A = this chain, B = another copy of it.
Amino acid sequence: MSSSWGEKIRISIFGGSHTQAIGVNIEGLPPGEPVDWEEILVQMSRRAPGQDKTATTRKEADTPRVLCGLYEGVTTGAPLCAVIENTNQRPKDYSQLKVLPRPGHADYTAAVKYAGHNDVRGGGHFSGRLTAPLVFAGALARQLLARRGVTVGAHVLHIAGCERDDPPFDPVSLDSALLDRLSREYFPVRDSGVKEAMRAAIERARLSQNSAGGLVECAVLGMPVGAGEPMFGGAENRIASLVFGVPAVKGLEFGAGFGVGDMLGSQSNDPMYVDEGGRVRTRTNNAGGIAGGITNGMPVIFRAALKPTPSISREQDTVDLRTMQNAKLTVTGRHDPCIVPRAAAALEAAACVAALDLLACSGLL
């Protein structure tokens, strides 16, 4: 089903931007796992809007309420459903969106697909708000992973219009302390100087009634050898099928990624060796920790490209679906000039959920 993902650990996300509530049902969690609520809230706040000028000024508490699946703070093994109330619903007339679809949004495709019955308020089920339950699920998965020695972190690699990039991860000697630090920040970057430049670029976009795209790099450290399956069950396939569910993602690459298109075999093959601990390692990590779809014990590294928020307040060309004539549209309301910093939290969450399911499917949990 489209809003569900996972084979052994399965998340089902429900709700829309302006429905009474949104949430996620998580099936397949192992029993006996304690949940640290403070850590959950850390992750929820990383994704929540209203934190600084790079994001929308809407404020949402985004405190999940766990309806079931925990007993005295420990997983029972039964489905765990968490719900987040949509408290900040401003009454507003959204009927225009049924007539004048916003370019870059799903308004038009959804109108056709659902014959006009889709909930257009705030993007409905297509809203970026739906990453909140994903982040909840990821925050929970992260705790199970941590107990098994797996750490997940991401940073903002690039912001459109910013001349400086955050330095990419060293794919071979990546430190879990770095990932830990990044995974607790709102706008995670390795180099704080770069962050200021990125903020400035975002502010420039905002002031010009525009929005900015960007790139996020994410790493999963500590995966054992053997997670993932051949062909369509590979770690890349599974991560991709989840990551492309984060709104705005238009590209995904693993390890050397698109760089392999410029490589010779002698460059892209990662030389193997036995390290001092007797473990098999590779001297480079162009594979991004995945060979033949299966994790090889090196860091799993991927990068995602996120398009700029389509909601910009400039006038845009659209169509009038009633008259089927060309029309103009000016989107109003509060919008993120750049969702990339918040998307880093969502992409980490996706990585956590994918890693946990990969471990479970391969009998490594």
Residue positions of A touching B, CB distance < 8 A: 1-5, 10, 12-16, 19-23, 25, 27-28, 31-32, 65-69, 71, 74-81, 83, 101, 103-106, 108-110, 112-119, 121, 124-126, 130, 158, 160-161, 205, 208, 210-215, 225-226, 228-234, 236-238, 240-242, 244-245, 247-274, 278, 280, 282-283, 286-288, 291-296, 305-312, 314, 316-319, 321, 324-326, 362-363
Contact = CB atoms under 8 A, between A and B. Distances in A.
A213 B260 CA distance: 6
Contact of A241 (B101, B232, B287): B232
A216 B184 CA distance: 38
A244 B110 CA distance: 27
Given A68-B19, A231-B2, A257 B118 contact: no
Nearest to A308: B265
Contacts of A1: 10, 27-28, 229, 233
Q: How many copies does the complex hold?
A: 4
B264 A260 contact: no
Contacts of A108: 225, 272, 280, 291, 296
Which of A25, A231, A242, A362 counts the most B-chain CB atoms under 10 A from its CB?
A: A231
A198 B278 CA distance: 42
B3 A272 contact: no
A269 to B, nearest CB: 4
18 contacts: A12-B12, A14-B78, A16-B68, A22-B67, A31-B118, A101-B272, A105-B292, A109-B296, A112-B226, A125-B231, A160-B261, A160-B264, A234-B244, A240-B241, A252-B253, A264-B308, A265-B309, A268-B307
